[in-house]
Amino acid sequence: MSPKRDIQPGTLALMILKTLDVLGPLHGYGIARRIEETSRNQLSLNYGTLYPALLRLEQEGCIKAEWGPSENNRRAKFYGLTSAGRKQLAREARDWHRTTDLIAAFLTPRREA
């Protein structure tokens, strides 16, 4: 098994927003597990990274938080996407695609004419 990788700077917010867009409201542990599952367990996500990102997204109005019971009937904070969060997700996804296309242009060998 290959070692887990750290999340690239600037990508965690996009992963959180996309996770909430696809699955709906989740608590922090659920978001972390889903991100790790989606990466086929290649990413290493610690809570010292996740919770500040969730707080920042909440302060920016991209997500909202509400307390509710978890699957094991414990009190947990559930995060959900707001309409501003959906717009932010669209912007970040568009920017990410532009960036990866740009980098791919440099990494793809081209023949000189």
pLDDT in tens, the chain (113 residues): 556 777 777 789 999 999 999 999 999 999 999 999 999 999 878 888 899 999 999 999 999 999 999 888 999 999 999 999 999 999 999 999 999 999 999 998 777 65
**Arch. (CATH architecture) of 5-107:** Orthogonal Bundle (1.10)
pLDDT at 76: 92
Q: Structural domain boundaries of the chain?
A: 5-107
Residue 94: CA count within 13 A, CB half-sphere: 6
pLDDT at 60: 97
Helices (H) and strands (E) in the chain, counts: 4, 5
Distances (CA, A) of 36 to 6, 8, 33, 43, 101: 11, 14, 5, 6, 25
pLDDT at 70: 86
Find where tokens 């707080």 sit: 55
Q: For the whole model, what pTM was predicted?
A: 0.86
